[in-house]
Structure 1
Amino acid sequence: MDPEPAPGVPRSPDPSAQHRGRSSHVSLPERNRSPWWELGRRLLAALGILVGTVLIVYLDRDGYQDGNDPDNVISVIDAIYYTTVTLSTTGYGDIAPVTDTARMINAFVITPARIAFLVLLIGTTLEVLASQGREQFRVARWRRKMGHHVVVVGYGTKGRSAVDTLVNNGLSRDSVVVVDPSPLALQDAHADGLAVVTGDATRREVLRRAGVAEAEQVIITTDRDDSNVLATLTVRQLNPDAWIVTAVREQENAPLMKQSGANSVITSSDAVGRLLGLSTVSPALGSVLEDLLSYGDGLEVAERDLLVSEVGRQPQSLPDQVIAVVRDEKVYRYFDPVVTLLARGDRLIVVRPARELPWAPRPGTHNEDVAE
């Protein structure tokens, strides 16, 4: 068993995970097998049709006539020759079936085999070429559209919940890129309609493929604090301006994550523990907090612009329940003397109904003038 690291020191990366991350590729959400695997499989099927037809012709060689051989002897070479020119629809006519049995076999066995041979060989080749070109075009188009997107490192429970929250708040799934080395994560992300870069996010090349340098936000949610630290450092090197949100399992690693360049650090184990404790001490308070963290019904926490009609008013006097005010990129609690009166450019953190109700309208959602 590996020894536990000292407090504040994250574990070292898993060497096997690093090895898996050395090769990465962009994978868009579409279930495809390798085109070359498909080509090889169908070529083998075409070869099987060819060999089977040669055997049929050779075993029934007495039913064929060779116009170029006075002795009319059909050899193995003749059977191969007749099969190839017949399946390829060339049909020179120098070897031809003459008996009723041979003609029936040609009509009901060799003719369907010819059709299958052409479909497998020519059709598959065109399909492979078209599939490769189509996939390269899709990836190139995807790269051109990337910019100001969100990169999610790790597609476990936390990563999926983060993506669901982003999508529920209006972000397009086309603007989300998942980075994860796991085949299971690849399958899950594709099922959710997300593009995936397979590889280890602590490696610079993998993050480059995900377009981290042009990303607006990066969410890092792997299950290891050491991997999160290395990924945060690498992301910050590639993109000094990205907003990085990182999850840590242990609170003692949160300062280290901040020093690595994370703008926001969420302690998953402590947050769950506090919610469990509050739900035990006060079940009503726990249910309210769970309601705030869920999406779609009940209450939600949201950020919105200040309206022109709200300038100069106190936060407590607004229709929404204001809990904080964002001014000059700093967050103030609603009772802070600095934000006693609201000013242009402020943004509000509010608690409001998740769905607008007739008796509870949602200011800022009806084309009101914004106090920018």
Structure 2
Amino acid sequence: MKLPGHDAIARQPGDHLVAHRVKLPRAVVERPIRQVVKRLVMALVVLVATALVVYADRDGYQDNSDGPVDLLDAFYYATVTLSTTGYGDITPVSDSARLTNIFVITPLRVLFLIILVGTTLEVLTERTREEWRLNRWRSTLRDHTVVIGFGTKGRAAIQTVCATGLKKEQVVVVDPSSKAIEAATAEGYAGVIGDATRSDVLKGAEVHKARQIIVAPQRDDTSVLVTLTARQLNRGAKIVAAVREEENAPLLKQSGADAVITSSGAAGRLLGLSVLSPAAGMVMEDLIQQGSGLDLIERPVVRGEVGRKPRETDDLVVSVVRGHRVLGYDDPSVGTLQLTDRLITIVRASPGTRVTPDIRPLPHG
């Protein structure tokens, strides 16, 4: 497989390859344009109210240019007064007009300034708050799951791991598309916008502190480069990668992936099984959908099961993981279960409950 250089990987119009941006999930707030329009309307209401107050007491004001104060002059005076410009060409001369300026116009001026300055203060406060949230997020993030690519495969992978009890706060999505990251944050996941083949982008997702890494981009060459980069940053994490073509699976394993899933091959085998036996196809689809019907999980052997055969346990054991070997339940070399063994079992997913498998990454070598 020919691998293009980093600069040619996953490049899309408008994407930034060098810089990355972290977006954290947040509560739904008003759009900025709506906030600005709302403040603008409030400022106009204050301006109109001030102009009407001045016009109602227009006999107490003097226009140094043409004498009497009309409606236009009232709006002009309200504008220069609220903005603290104060040219002095229109002035209050009567006692009532001056009292009105003290007790009415001055509070309206303060309110007007609060509305205008409040917009700037809110922007600065929001930036400070976002920076604080980001720093706190980085400092507390440990043993999380990083998902590269928020397409069909990435979404399905996240749904599966979250169905086993993983919290959304422990998932970080990396994708070069800002729309994909917006969709991820809308669902409650943290997101990093950028090209995952670059180490600085993966560092932004705190890959070096991750426990699991799911590599599910759209292209096989991207999967290889992402896996290489991720393995270089984190030697102990469990890396699971997806490829479209089966011939690229060995290359991914050489790049550092602990497990490789061939998406096209798996889909084809499921199609073939469904043709031969629709019921068997339904069972297989049920097994790979975590949290409903039957679930396929990995768990450690408990002390009460030590010395028993796989078929003598309460669960339906499919395979036994012993060291780096995965043995069938009927493999003669299994013999009896040992405390260090792990079991691949089929269990019934109870409604309202979640099974949390204790999956340990195999040492990479």
Pairwise TM-score range, normalised by the shorter structure: 0.7 to 0.9
Structure 2 unpaired stretches of 5+: 358-365
Counterpart AA for 1:144:
S
C-alpha distance in 1 between matches for 2:2 and 2:329: 37
Q: Distance in 1 between matches of 2:304 and 2:43?
A: 78
Quote the residue 1:3 is aligned against: none
Q: Cα offset for 1:126?
A: 2.5
**Correspondence 1:156 to 2:158:** no
Would the aligned equivalents of 1:82 and 1:95 in 2 still touch at CA under 8 Å? no
Contact 2:61 2:92 survives alignment (8 Å): yes
Which residue pairs with 1:324 in the alignment? 319
Q: 1:171 aligns with which of 160, 166, 171?
A: 166
Within-5 A mapping of 1:257-336? 257-336=252-331
Rounded Cα–Cα distance in structure 2 between residues aligned with 1:308 and 1:62:
93
2:2 corresponding residue in structure 1? 9
Distance 2:14 2:178 in 1: 15
Q: In structure 2, the residue corresponding to 1:20 is in which secondary structure?
A: coil
How much does 1:330 deviate? 3.0
Match of 1:259, SS state, is helix
Match of 1:224 in 2: 219
What's the CA shift for 1:288?
Answer: 1.3
Q: Deviation per CA, 1:266-302: give whole Å up to 9, x if none.
A: 0001100100011001112111111211233321111
- CA distance in structure 2 between the partners assigned to 1:363 and 1:308 by the alignment: 19
Q: 2:185 is matched by which residue type in structure 1?
A: H
Give distance in 2, aligned partners of 1:202 and 1:17: 17
> How far apart, in 2, do the equivalents of 1:18 and 1:224 lie?
19
Output the TM-score relative to the length of structure 1: 0.77
User: Which range is displaced more, 337-346 or 26-35?
Assistant: 26-35
Query: Which stretch shifts more, 190-199 or 287-296?
Result: 287-296
Change (3 A) 1:178 1:14: closer
- Alignment correspondent of 1:24: 20
Q: Give the match's secondary structure for 1:26.
A: strand
Query: Following the alignment from structure 1 to structure 2, what is the Cα–Cα distance between the partners of residues 86 and 56?
Result: 13
Pick closer, same or farther for the CA change 1:126–1:282 going to 2, 3 Å.
Answer: same
Look up the match of 1:135: 130
SS at match of 1:21: coil
Look up the SS of the partner of 1:205 in the other structure. Answer: helix
TM-score, normalising length: structure 2: 0.78
List gaps (5 residues or longer) in structure 1.
1-7, 366-372
The Cα shift of 1:222 comes to 0.8
Shift of 1:184: 2.4
2-structure distance, mates of 1:38, 1:119? 18
The alpha-carbon distance between structure 1 residues 130 and 306, as it changes in their structure 2 partners (threshold 3 A), is same
The one-letter code sitting in structure 2 at the alignment partner of 1:228 is S
User: Structure 1 counterpart of 2:131, which letter?
Assistant: Q
Instruction: Find the residue that maps to 1:147 and give its secondary structure.
Output: coil
**Does the 8 A contact of 2:15 with 2:194 survive in 1?**
no
Deviation at 1:84, TM superposition (A): 3.9
Counterpart in the other structure of 2:92: 96
Confirm whether residue 338 of structure 1 aligns to residue 333 of structure 2: yes
Number of the residue aligned with 1:5: none
Alpha carbons of structure 1 residues 111 and 161: separation in structure 2 relative to 1, 3 Å: farther
CA positional deviation for 1:16 = 3.4
Q: What SS is found at the alignment partner of 2:299?
A: strand
For 2:73 and 2:82, the matched residues in 1 are separated by: 14
Q: Residues 363 and 132 from structure 1, CA distance in 2 versus in 1: closer, same or farther, beyond 3 angstroms?
A: closer
8 A Cα contact 2:15 2:176, kept in partner: no
Do structure 1's residue 350 and structure 2's residue 345 form an aligned pair? yes
Distance in 1, Cα, partners of 2:54 & 2:222 = 65
Contact 1:63 1:99 in 2 (8 A): no
Task: Provide the C-alpha distance between the structure 1 equivalents of 2:93 and 2:250, rounded to a whole number of angstroms.
Answer: 86
- Paired with 1:260 and 1:70, the residues of 2 have a C-alpha distance of 83
C-alpha contact (below 8 Å) 2:62/2:93 kept by paired residues: no
Tell me, yes or no, if the aligned pair for 2:246 and 2:265 is still in contact at 8 Å: yes
Give 1:14 deviation, angstroms. Answer: 4.2
Residue identity matched to 1:258: K
Q: Which amino acid aligns with 2:130?
A: E
Q: Secondary structure at the match of 2:346?
A: strand
Residue aligning to 1:250:
245
The answer as to whether partners of 1:325 and 1:348 remain within 8 angstroms in 2 is: yes
Alpha-carbon distance in structure 2 between the residues aligned to 1:300 and 1:153: 25
Relative to structure 1, the CA distance from residue 364 to residue 59 in structure 2 (aligned partners, 3 Å threshold; closer, same or farther) is closer
In structure 2, relative to structure 1, the CA distance for the partners of 1:15 and 1:177 (3 Å cut) is: closer
1:97/1:225 CA distance change after superposition, 3 Å: farther
| Partner of residue 190, structure 1 | 185
Which residue pairs with 1:212 in the alignment?
A: 207
User: CA deviation digits over 1:190-230, x for unaligned, max 9?
Assistant: 12101000111111111110001111111011111111111
CA distance in 1, matches of 2:25, 2:19: 19
Give CA-to-partner distance per residue, 1:88-114, whole Å, 9 cap, x none. Answer: 599x9x8227699x99x99xx979974
Offset, 1:353: 1.1
Contact 2:292 2:350 in 1 (8 A): yes
The 1:320/1:17 distance shift into structure 2, 3 A limit, reads farther
CA deviations on 1:99-155 (whole Å, 9 max, x unpaired) are 99x99x99xx97997476334313222212221121111111111111211100101
In structure 2, relative to structure 1, the CA distance for the partners of 1:59 and 1:77 (3 Å cut) is closer
Residue aligned with 1:142, SS: helix
Confirm or deny: 8 A CA contact 1:218 1:242 kept in the other structure. yes
